[in-house]
Chain A
Amino acid sequence: MNSPLLPIIIPFAFAILLMFAPKQLMFQRIGAMIGAILTVGASVWLLQKVATDGIQVVTFGSWPVPYGITMVSDMVSILFVLTSSIITLFAIWYSYRTIGVGREQFFYYPGILLMLVGVNGAFTTGDIFNLFVFFEVLLMASYLLSVLGGEKIQFRESIKYILVNVVSSAFFVITVAMLYSVVGTLNMADIAQKVSEVNQPGILTAIAIMLLVVFGLKAAIFPLFFWLPSSYSGPPLPVLALFGALLTKVGVYAIMRTFTLFFVGDIAFTHTLLLYLSVATIVVGCIGALAVWDVKKIIIYNIVIAVGVILYGIATYNDTGLLGSMFYVVHDMLIKAALFFLVGIIIYITGQTNLKKMGGLMKHYPSLGWLYLIAAFSLAGIPPLSGFIGKMLLVKGGFEAEQTASSIWILLSSLIVLLSVIRIFVYAFWGKEKETTPINRSVYWQLWIPTALLVALTIVYGVGADAVMPYMAKAAETLANPQIYIDAVKGGQ
């Protein structure tokens, strides 16, 4: 009955448990792993439950709907929750050999689990102020993770990261206050109903744009992405993989939710703006990805591109585009985490991040090379792999919405994405072998295994698209018809 809460409560309980003995290394590692596995299990179970029984709704204290806080698990949110839980599981596994004992003994794993609490909570909540609170939960944990270790670059970049997020959080509070004064409620389903009843007057369109600014700052869309490339180059790699895969996607999810549930009355303005912004986001991401020679930063700029691509599907706002967005966002979370893991191994082997100083890894690390090539092709969207179907649907949705130029631009951007990631392959794996310090082979394999499993998962996701499609179709249906969501939340009473 309270099933939507399980993916939030389980990591929370384990995070509290882990805080009692921070210095016990094995306890920390095993405890974090069990917590993550149980969360994934609960998410899979919840996914089946949502698929068979429909949208799951929990109202705290059994208060009637607009008055209490509601937690809603529909197909959209549970797919996000499941993907985040899987990525967190792999990130914990990957951390064992990369993060360093010093960090592990200083609340690293509780930090990761608390971030998962915030992320899963933000995906599940049905209350706009509760969304703010869960944003703060995940942001606070991410502040800890970004500064933990205390290197100079971490201090420098964390200050900027925190400042941007403090300002955007204040802006979120302001926007909620405005929204409350207009519609007089905080429950999302109730807001959606009230907005449609008053037919979205100008003030609500203004609030929609304010929300776009707030969530755009989290998701790094075009004029608001400036903080991301430098802030993400601070933290160590497993943390970076978590940030890159999860944090921006929370912003994307929030935009997805608000612009398909609340603000559908003035699409000509709001969604056209979103369309222009998403195309501009892809442009700046492409420029950045081609301009830098730092392997981490190439992937970081690819996050920006992917955010633009996902938002493009929401902006076209038809069934095909929304389906494409749903399919692409899950693919992108998985593949971004996998790419960061791969880049982490490359950095571990070569001891540096500068692409120009690498070369010839193929001779001694062929399995890593092929794995990277598969991940790169998957990111670009080569047909049997997972990036293809999402992008195909997105472009098809774009043509159906008669946005020919921007759809062709999405296709062209795939070429630039491919060029940017294949450059890493060409420079790091081909060419003359460069001198590297000898590395510990067993550590290498221990990093290789979780990475390979994650890449395998993206292959399965691409090849087995038929099996995934019913879930995605259901999610897209919920996005396309806000009435389904409203009825599920308000009809249960």
Chain B
Amino acid sequence: MEILMAFVIGFLFFAAIYLILSKSLLRIIIGTGLLSHGAHMLILTMGGLGSDAPPVLADGVSNSSMADPLPQALILTAIVISFGVTAFFLVLAYRAYQELKTDNIDEMRGEEHDE
């Protein structure tokens, strides 16, 4: 199972890097979204995928069959952080489009302040 997940995550990273290296700002942001998906799934996988019971002390779940609760807490933290950053990034891209009149990252070089 972990091997399969490793391939899926690797593919997510591959797609993310491809998108981040493209010219359009929106494709770059989609790439960062895929990158954080990959990172979150990697935490889950690295915590171990063997046990299938939820990490709750109820309904006769025994300690041995319980999934590792720590990676899930880490993912939850990382998700909200990346959500906040992505929201900020999207609004920044929107404002930058209004001001700079372009979403092509190649045209954002601009030297008018440097001379």
Note all chain B residues with C-beta closer than 8 A to A169: 81-82, 85
Note all chain A residues with C-beta closer than 8 A to B39: 170-171, 173-174, 177
Indicate if the CB atoms of A158 and B113 lie closer than 8 Å: no
Indicate if the CB atoms of B77 and A159 lie closer than 8 Å: no
Shortest Cβ distance from B36 into A: residue:
A170
Contact A155:B100 (CB < 8 A) given known A143-B88, A294-B114? yes
A51 interfacial contact with B, CB 8 Å: no
Q: How far is the CB of A142 from chain B (nearest CB, A)?
A: 11
A143 to B88, CA, bound (A): 9
Contact A167:B96 (CB < 8 A) given known A140-B88, A153-B113, A180-B71? no
A200 interfacial contact with B, CB 8 Å: no
Note all chain B residues with C-beta closer than 8 A to A156: 96, 100, 108, 110
B61 interfacial contact with A, CB 8 Å: no
Indicate if the CB atoms of A162 and B92 lie closer than 8 Å: yes
**Residues of A126-180 contacting chain B, CB below 8 A:** 129, 132-133, 136, 139-140, 143, 147, 150, 152-153, 155-156, 158-160, 162-163, 166-167, 169-171, 173-174, 176-178, 180
B59 interfacial contact with A, CB 8 Å: no
A205 interfacial contact with B, CB 8 Å: no
Query: What's the A-B contact tally at a CB cutoff of 8 Å?
Result: 102
Contact A133:B81 (CB < 8 A) given known A162-B88, A170-B36? yes
Size of the A side of the interface (Cβ < 8 Å), in residues, is 34
A152 to B35, CA, bound (A): 28
Note all chain B residues with C-beta closer than 8 A to A196: none
Size of the B side of the interface (Cβ < 8 Å), in residues, is 39
**Residues of B50-103 contacting chain A, CB below 8 A:** 70-71, 74, 77-78, 81-82, 84-85, 88-89, 92-93, 95-96, 99-100
Q: How far is the CB of A297 from chain B (nearest CB, A)?
A: 9
A174 to B36, CA, bound (A): 9
B20 CB contact (under 8 Å) in A140, A163, A186: A163
Indicate if the CB atoms of A162 and B114 lie closer than 8 Å: no
Contacts from B to A (Cβ < 8 Å): 20, 25, 28, 32, 35-36, 38-40, 42-43, 45-48, 70-71, 74, 77-78, 81-82, 84-85, 88-89, 92-93, 95-96, 99-100, 105, 108, 110, 112-115
Please name 26 pairs of A and B residues whose Cβ atoms are closer than 8 Å in the assembled complex, sorted by A.
Answer: A133-B77, A140-B85, A143-B88, A147-B92, A150-B95, A152-B99, A152-B112, A155-B92, A156-B96, A158-B92, A163-B28, A166-B36, A166-B82, A169-B81, A170-B38, A170-B82, A173-B43, A174-B39, A176-B74, A177-B39, A177-B42, A177-B45, A177-B46, A180-B47, A180-B70, A180-B71
